[in-house]
Amino acid sequence: MALLLPIQPGNPNFTIDVDMDGVTYTLQFKWNARAPGWFVSISTSTGEVLVLARRLPVNWPLWWRNRDPLLPSGYLMFNDTTGADLDPGVEDLGARVQVVYVTAAEVAAL
């Protein structure tokens, strides 16, 4: 079952630690006002940056083509709960748009 990440709406810059398929990663989310959109960086628990400031549009899996063994085996994506498939605005993340980790088992079943 996909993991719904605990995002509190209204914060344009935050960091969370998340267990993805048994490994803890640090995710940093930043809102970019100049190129309106959310960007995510992913680091290992030791601080090694694996993904730096990658834009994450709605319903598009992050790193799905990149099979770096240090990255989680599943993938991360934004899910628009209204079904409108609109990218999240600064106030939408954790509200209208959820951050979901699709596990390795779910990816293998596709």
Q: Mind listing the pLDDT tens digit for each residue in 12-39?
A: 999 999 999 999 999 999 999 999 999 9
Cα-trace Rg, the chain: 13
Mean pLDDT, residues 36-56: 94
Count up the domains in the chain and report the number. Answer: 1
Beta strands across the sheet bearing 37-44: 13-20, 23-32, 37-44, 49-55
* Structural domain contains residue 46: yes
pTM passes above 0.75: yes
Query: What 3-state DSSP class applies to 104?
Result: helix
Fill in the DSSP letter of residue 6: -
* Structural domain contains residue 78: yes
> Rounded CA gap, 29 and 37, in Å?
10
* Structural domain contains residue 2: no
